[in-house]
Amino acid sequence: MSDTDELLRIEGIRKTFPGVVALDGVDFDLRRGEVHVLLGENGAGKSTLIKMLSGAYTPDAGRILVGGEEARIQGAQDSERLGIATIYQEFNLVPDLTVAENIFLGRQPRRFGMIDRKRMEADAEVLLKRVGVTVSPRARVRELGIARLQMVEIAKALSLDARVLIMDEPTAVLTSEEVEKLFAIVRTLREDGVGIVFITHHLEEIAALGDRVTVIRDGRSVGQVPASTPEDELVRLMVGRSIEQQYPRERADRGGALLSVEGLTRDGVFHDVSFEVHAGEVVGVAGLVGAGRTEVVRAVFGADPYDKGAVKVAGSAVPKYDVNAAMTAGIGLIPRTARARAWCWTRRSRRTSGW
């Protein structure tokens, strides 16, 4: 690798917060025209690292080099000036503005002191074509499906002439078809020489898209391996031990159900949902965005009403639509952030076909 191929290098980065060492000697580098996967469990330090590159945090120790020269990133403007763009899981878009207005927000082209809308929309159309999405620059962002929102974010990053594109869990809420379209865009950007930092928890995506993988565990970089590395080895690097049994057998001594949800129904939202949670269990509720996952757990907690069904704790019925009763029974809820709920509401209420 020549010096001109290296876009980004991080050396010995350390970051602490009161009582917590978030990063402790992390090393990472990114080359021109590659997808470098950043892998680690929740809480490993990935988000802290990308927030340093986007200017939200500054390191306590270590160096960040961009294009071979040490850089001080103390805010979003520094990051943009250096050609670094970050696409977070929660889209940084304004629902009531148009696609073009979002792409050039704060950087609108002007003519005679006024915003040149014709030029702005024409420039946005060029960027949208580059990422392979057919959408009008005049469309309101709130009218778009989740996959198109993702493409608008990428177009916004390209409008900054980004050489480094950081993508934080971009496939988390996409269907398999939408994921393939996103991958096609990422491969095109790689061919154009853009360096991409790709964060994912889906191990099968690494071999399909990545070139290299850096694994972070407990705030430290513990290994850099090819993307072709077997999944078992990636898991071992992430957790620090081999996982002999990824899906353990059901425990025989689990006892009676602590929580029973029976035939929970809310017309037009969810229908006949039933499940049990026993002591010591972690029960996952899975589904696509808009499938009703959040609405079900809110109904169980008493925050939302339901039409039919029952919620029981240790065999005793919990009154519906009564948060105090649910809490007295021992049910707790950690909700999604207000911003995430707002975006989910937008997508559910104005959902399109996605692309």
pLDDT (tens digit per residue) in 293-307: 889 999 999 999 999
Same domain, 42 and 169: yes
Same domain, 95 and 61: yes
* Chosen domain end from 204, 239, 274: 239
Task: Judge whether 249 lies within some domain.
Answer: no
Same domain, 12 and 80: yes
Domain range spanning residue 44?
3-239
Same domain, 111 and 40: yes
Does residue 62 contact residue 10 with C-beta atoms inside 8 Å? Answer: yes
- Residues of the chain falling short of pLDDT 50: 1, 337-355
Task: Judge whether 140 lies within some domain.
Answer: yes
Task: Judge whether 244 lies within some domain.
Answer: no
- Cα 255 to Cα 40, 143, 247, 279, 314: the distances in Å are 34, 48, 20, 7, 11
Q: What is the pLDDT of residue 65?
A: 95
Same domain, 148 and 7: yes
Task: Judge whether 231 lies within some domain.
Answer: yes
To the nearest 10°, report the CA torsion of 288, 292, 298, 301.
Answer: -100
Which tokens in the block code for residue 120?
């702005």
Least Cα distance to 137 among 105, 108, 100, 107 occurs for: 100
Q: What is the pLDDT of residue 343?
A: 44
* Chosen domain end from 183, 210, 239: 239
Q: What is the pLDDT of residue 245?
A: 56
281: which DSSP letter?
Answer: -
Q: What is the pLDDT of residue 348?
A: 44
Same domain, 194 and 264: no
Q: What is the pLDDT of residue 340?
A: 43
Please report, rounded to a whole number, the percentage of residues in the chain having pLDDT higher than 90: 55
Task: Judge whether 248 lies within some domain.
Answer: no
Q: Per-residue pLDDT tens for 205-218?
A: 999 999 999 999 99
Task: Judge whether 176 lies within some domain.
Answer: yes
Q: What is the pLDDT of residue 345?
A: 43
Cα 284 to the center of its chain, rounded Å: 19
Whether pTM exceeds 0.75: no
